[in-house]
Structure 1
């Protein structure tokens, strides 16, 4: 038996396809889409021998030598920060979805909150990378909270769900 939730997503009571797809999509977004490797390769500061130190070690020199501008270096720094935050947030998201599934939270609730989280993370990533001026950077903080509250709500719902 399939039901449709308030977002128009079709879910079946025992179907794990939707939650699994959200977990996989958010992994791809955090670890691939927001990966800083491509921007670092574009500007010639990618060194695989110690990639987490590339921006610190080679960024300033790349600006001094004209390989990139200070604004481009700051963009790469924001990509790195967005990537780090997204991979950190992915753990809470995955844990909250799995907890909700085990606890028996209705699938439509899980799917709705997965959608909210995913949309917030996309907006967060774009805001972090492309918005560099205050007060517009507050958009990033706001959607960060939206994403995390959706995870916390999943945990709370799982902890308070009434079993039949």
Structure 2
């Protein structure tokens, strides 16, 4: 019988691998600012990390984009950087839990919480401009970390049993 994706029981690494792949793609591809910067003509291959600092204000002055659009792209870059930073802890906690033989269902739940929280974090970071409401981002950030800490905790509980 062929089983695909999260229902696979034949390989205990399938679920963690799927979530690790998704987490990487989300942090490095989906939250990438390259596409919006290319759209507005701000993408320079020579030093793409400096594009907004070098050319952002001039693009606003020249009418290529609005200040709101520039701020959104800046926050997109920050959300991507934060997701890339957080991916290391996520990846290590998933690998640790998998090696420690935490039940796949527990790993899937923790990874699902992390993934949903990461998407919510990105959306709030990029689209919420109000300082007060942007505090929600911190709560979501902690939800991401709590799911990783749970995996580490669950791995220590499984290993000691």
Once the two structures are TM-superposed, the CA of residue 15 in structure 1 deviates from its matched residue by: 2.4
Once the two structures are TM-superposed, the CA of residue 14 in structure 1 deviates from its matched residue by: 4.5
Which residue of 2 is the match for residue 31 of structure 1?
28
Are residue 66 (structure 1) and residue 85 (structure 2) matched?
A: no
- Unaligned 5+ runs, structure 2: 1-5
Which residue of 1 is the match for residue 136 of structure 2?
139
Once the two structures are TM-superposed, the CA of residue 163 in structure 1 deviates from its matched residue by: 5.2
User: What number of residue pairs does the alignment pair up?
Assistant: 156
Q: What CA distance in whole angstroms lies between the structure 2 residues aligned with 1:52 and 1:29?
A: 18
- Unaligned 5+ runs, structure 1: 1-8
Q: What CA distance in whole angstroms lies between the structure 1 residues aligned with 2:123 and 2:13?
A: 29
Q: What CA distance in whole angstroms lies between the structure 1 residues aligned with 2:68 and 2:47?
A: 23
* Contact 1:104-1:163 at 8 Å conserved across structures: no
Which residue of 2 is the match for residue 93 of structure 1?
90
Which residue of 2 is the match for residue 113 of structure 1?
110
Once the two structures are TM-superposed, the CA of residue 162 in structure 1 deviates from its matched residue by: 4.6
Structure with bigger helix share is 2
Which residue of 1 is the match for residue 44 of structure 2?
47
Residues 13 and 149 of structure 1, relative CA distance in 2, 3 Å threshold: farther
Corresponding residue to 1:83 among 68, 80, 83: 80
Is 10-19 or 126-135 further displaced after alignment?
A: 10-19
* Contact 2:117-2:144 at 8 Å conserved across structures: yes
* Contact 1:11-1:108 at 8 Å conserved across structures: no
Once the two structures are TM-superposed, the CA of residue 152 in structure 1 deviates from its matched residue by: 1.1
Q: With the length of structure 2 as denominator, give the TM-score of the two structures.
A: 0.91
Which residue of 1 is the match for residue 19 of structure 2?
22
Q: What CA distance in whole angstroms lies between the structure 1 residues aligned with 2:113 and 2:55?
A: 38
Corresponding residue to 2:149 among 152, 158, 161: 152
